Amino acid sequence: MKVLAITKSNDINSSIKSHKIHKWCEINNYRITKISKLFSPHSLESIEGIIAETFFDLYQNIFSFGKMVELVNKYGLFIHCMDGFDSRTTFGKNVLKMLLKFCEIEKSDLANRTLEGRMNNFSRFGKVGGIGKGSTGKPPFGYYWDGDVLEVDSQKSQWVKRIYDFRHDGVSYRKIANIVNEAGVVTNNGKPFSRRAIKSILNNNFYSGHIHYSNQIIQNHHKPVL
């Protein structure tokens, strides 16, 4: 059987641990296709299992371990360790199920904690991240950050108003983009306006002075353009 060998040794090619793994594989009729210090999803091609000296050698962090278990289950691989762990046994299967469930709970808990932190910052500062980071992302065309204060760009904001006026008069997105580009106006990224960029401005309620994040809305968060 072709296997991937995982070892924590600093010298995986000549260490005693590596030698022990090779000898153990010979006894178990395993053929090592690759020896690695870390598990990688790209190492799963043309193998039937993963082996290590100890089960803990397979652990990097909760997320990479959970991913490894998911892939082991997906591709029908086995995990066999020199300390006796074997995922093909009933005990081994139950251990992997339990660990995978734990990984899923931990990932969900982390995501909830992250969202809670972002929501708290949003409620307090009107930003997703901390004070001073401008972490609502780059402000839309027509605004800029002055320290912690979101200010209106006097020139760009006039073009925002014109874009809304053009659209109100029935001008197409493409035609509006051509008008803006011909005037030498560029996006915040220094690029010409596309049909998509014009549509994005027209669909952005940020210009009303309100800001939305998840299910929260802060009224009069910043100076409106419209």
Q: Is there a common fold for 2-107 and 128-218?
A: no
pLDDT tens string, the chain, 226 residues long: the values are: 888 888 766 544 555 556 778 888 889 999 888 877 777 777 677 889 998 888 888 877 777 888 888 888 888 899 999 989 999 999 999 988 888 888 888 878 877 777 677 666 655 555 554 444 444 557 789 988 887 777 899 999 999 999 999 999 999 999 999 999 999 999 988 999 999 999 999 988 889 888 776 666 777 878 899 8
Q: Residue ranges of the alpha helices (H) in the chain? A: 16-27, 62-74, 90-125, 154-168, 173-182, 195-202
Q: Which residues of 24-59 are buried (b: 16+ CB within 10 A; e: fewer)?
A: bbeeeebebeebeeebeeebbeebbbbbbbbbebbb
Q: In this structure, which CATH number among 3.40.190.10, 3.40.50.2300, 3.40.50.1390, 3.40.50.720 belongs to the domain 2-107? A: 3.40.50.1390
Instruction: Identify which of 51, 21, 28 has the alpha carbon closest to the alpha carbon of residue 39.
Output: 51
Whole-number Å distance between alpha carbons of 176 and 179: 5
Burial class (CB in 10 A: 0-12, 13-18, 19+), 196: exposed
Chain centroid to CA 118 = 15
* CATH code 3.40.50.720 for 128-218: no
Main-chain phi, psi angles of 48, to 5 degrees: -110, -15
Q: What is the pTM of this model?
A: 0.48
Sheet holding 49-52, edge to edge: 31-36, 2-6, 49-52, 78-81
What are the boundaries of each domain within the chain? 2-107, 128-218
